[in-house]
């Protein structure tokens, strides 16, 4: 009989260094589904209160956002690093408002404004996904 019990530690948030790298990245790769044939898709990440979010632009039936709704397991790619994640749909209006503000602050170039405005539409707000480690 062992005196030590094995424990599985589940991270609820990414380490600060990972969050910082995501916050500094304009685009990260997302692959939805644990055993998916989906390729990595580039998405615009934002960090709100140390948590990582993204919204879908195209909202396609076979797209990454819908795939996360069917199977929340996936992978994000930050630089050379790949991290296993769960994609959780963000439901609260306050969180969605903060995500919107984060998009406006981070993607502030003239060329980005079309997308920042588009992310404010109700149908795209509904695609807000939080990525958490798994």
How high is the pLDDT of residue 8? 45
Half-sphere CA count of 16, side-chain side, radius 13 A: 0
Over the stretch 7-65, which tens digit does the pLDDT of each residue have? 544 557 899 999 999 999 999 999 998 766 668 999 999 999 999 999 999 888 888 99
Q: Which fold, 16-133?
A: Pnp Oxidase; Chain A (2.30.110)
DSSP state of 33: S
Give the start-to-end residue ranges of the domains of the chain. 16-133
Task: Looking at the chain, list the stretches that DSSP marks H as alpha helix, in order from N- to C-terminal side.
Answer: 16-24, 64-70, 93-106, 113-118, 122-125
Over the stretch 66-116, which tens digit does the pLDDT of each residue have? 989 899 999 999 999 999 999 999 989 999 999 999 999 999 999 999 999
Can you read off the two tokens belonging to residue 34?
């644990």
Task: Looking at 31-126, list the stretches that DSSP marks H as alpha helix, in order from N- to C-terminal side.
Answer: 64-70, 93-106, 113-118, 122-125
Can you read off the two tokens belonging to residue 99?
């995500």
Do the Cβ atoms of 43 and 78 come closer than 8 Å?
no
Q: CA torsion sign, 40 to 42 to 47 to 53?
A: negative
Residue 100: closest CA among 44, 37, 29, 22: 44
């Amino acid at each position: 009989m062992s005196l030590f019990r094995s424990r599985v530690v589940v991270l609820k948030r990414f380490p600060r260094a990972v969050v910082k790298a995501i916050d500094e990245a304009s685009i990260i790769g997302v692959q939805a589904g644990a055993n998916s044939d989906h390729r990595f898709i580039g998405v615009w990440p934002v960090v709100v209160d140390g948590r990582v979010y993204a919204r879908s632009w195209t909202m396609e039936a076979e797209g990454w956002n819908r795939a996360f709704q069917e199977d929340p397991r996936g992978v994000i790619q930050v630089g050379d690093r790949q991290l296993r994640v769960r994609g959780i749909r963000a439901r609260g209006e306050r969180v969605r408002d903060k995500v919107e503000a984060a998009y406006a602050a981070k993607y502030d170039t003239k060329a980005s404004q079309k997308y920042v405005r588009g992310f404010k539409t109700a149908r795209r707000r509904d695609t807000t996904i939080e990525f958490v480690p798994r």
